[in-house]
Each structure stands twice: as C-alpha cells, then as structure tokens.
C-alpha cells in the first residue's frame, strides 16, 4: 500500500479579497453618492485604456526588445522599460483628460 497525499483545499484566485473589498466600497458609494458612479467608471476606463495603449506602444517602439525575447541578463531592464512606458501612458491619459 502506498500512502496517499493529503487532499488540498481548492484555492481562491489571487486578489479575491481585494476584489471583494472593492465591490463593497462601490456598493457603499452607490448608497452614499450614486451620482459619482459614472465618474468612477470613467476613471477606470481611462486607466484600462492607458494600460492597453502603453503595452502596444512599447511593442511598436521596441519590436525586437520584448521582455521575453532579450537575453536573461537584460530581461529585468526590458520589463522595467515596459512598465515605465505603460506608466507614462496611464498618467498621460488620466491627468490630461
């Protein structure tokens, strides 16, 4: 007889706790100031658009220097570069509009 491994409890996805907190805060906002919900949705849309545009801008500007295509010693710098390009796009969209 071989010993069986103990059964693992299924794990919840990452950030589930923070997603629940966000939903609770949005629910409180809907109760206290329902007119602010479109503003929150607009700002979330701008941040999401900034992330997508930053990612594609980095891919267009550096087609041969993607973080998965550079040597191991330069991977962290390529990732930092991409993060800074995305940060610039997010800040530009959220502060400019």
pLDDT in tens, 62-74: 998 888 888 888 8
What angle separates helix 37-61 from helix 16-32, to the nearest 10 degrees?
A: 140
89 or 68, greater pLDDT: 89
Whole-number pLDDT of residue 37: 92
The yes-or-no verdict on residue 80 having pLDDT over 80 is yes
DSSP three-state, residue 52: helix
Cα 92 off chain centre by: 16
Contacts with 40 (C-beta within 8 Å, 6 or more apart), sequence order? 26, 29
What is the reported pTM? 0.73
From residue 55, give the alpha-carbon distance in Å to each of 49, 73, 81, 89: 10, 22, 11, 9
For residue 81, pLDDT over 90 is answered with yes
Give the pLDDT confidence of 12-31 residue by residue, as tens digits: 888 899 999 999 999 999 99
pLDDT tens column, 35-57 = 999 999 999 999 999 999 999 99
Instruction: Please tell me the predicted confidence (pLDDT) of residue 1.
Output: 58
């Amino acid at each position: 007889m071989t010993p069986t491994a103990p059964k693992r409890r299924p794990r919840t996805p990452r950030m589930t706790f923070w997603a629940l907190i966000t939903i609770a805060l949005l629910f409180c906002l809907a109760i206290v100031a329902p007119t602010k919900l479109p503003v929150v949705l607009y700002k979330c849309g701008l941040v999401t658009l900034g992330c997508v545009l930053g990612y594609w801008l980095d891919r267009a500007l550096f087609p041969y220097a993607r973080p998965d295509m550079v040597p191991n010693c330069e991977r962290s710098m390529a990732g930092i570069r991409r993060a800074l390009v995305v940060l610039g796009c997010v800040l530009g969209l959220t502060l400019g509009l």
